[in-house]
Amino acid sequence: MANETDYTISGEKDDSLTIAIILPCLFAIILVILMAVAFLLPKLTEESAETKENRRKKRLAALDNTIKAQHYVDWASKQRKEHPEFPVSMHPLCVICLDEIEDASQIRGLGCLHVFHQACLDDWFGRYNEYCPLCHRPIVGGKQLKKKTRASSDSDTPPVAFFV
């Protein structure tokens, strides 16, 4: 009987000891994990922000390659020569900022003959807007899309021919 009580007492002591050791350890581990997450999360978000900025720069470079920024006067005189049927107004409205486009404004004229301030269109395109704000035709990459669909249709045809 005496032995049994000893065991139970020692067992209780072990339990309290393990609780006294394990619980603080668990708290310490959780704290370390929380601190690690707190340190890593800002770095991860910073990296993603950097890659986003890089992607934005690449997009804007692609835009700059296809649609050159120029003064509105130069663009307008060129369009009047190339598209005499298209009425090019003297001071059109930039629908992005709703401000008038002056002769000396730096603009980008799209293939659809819609004109926007360079800064406005860059901001618009940099926010992953692929289409003209007015007529929804693709700003850049219309040709690339066509190539992709052709490639996919080519890869689709061989199995059909194989079956026939």
In the complex, the residues that contact Zn ion under the rule CB under 5 A are: 94, 96-97, 112, 114, 117, 120, 132, 134-135
Alpha carbon distance 62, 83 (integer Å): 25
Q: Which is closer to Zn ion, CB of 56 or CB of 92?
A: 92
Beta bridge partners of 71: 106
Q: Which is closer to Zn ion, CB of 59 or CB of 117?
A: 117
Q: Which is closer to Zn ion, CB of 1 or CB of 104?
A: 104
Q: Closest Cα partner for 122 from 52, 54, 59?
A: 59
Other CB atoms within 10 Å distance of the CB of residue 24 = 10
Helix H or strand E encompassing 106: strand 106-109
Is the separation of the CB atoms in 134 and 112 below 8 Å?
yes
Sheet holding 115-117, edge to edge: 69-71, 106-109, 115-117
Q: Which is closer to Zn ion, CB of 108 or CB of 117?
A: 117
**Cβ of residue 26: shortest distance to Zn ion, in angstroms?**
58
Alpha carbon distance 138, 21 (integer Å): 65
**Cβ of residue 92: shortest distance to Zn ion, in angstroms?**
10
Q: Which is closer to Zn ion, CB of 50 or CB of 102?
A: 102
**Cβ of residue 91: shortest distance to Zn ion, in angstroms?**
12
**Cβ of residue 149: shortest distance to Zn ion, in angstroms?**
22
**Cβ of residue 150: shortest distance to Zn ion, in angstroms?**
25
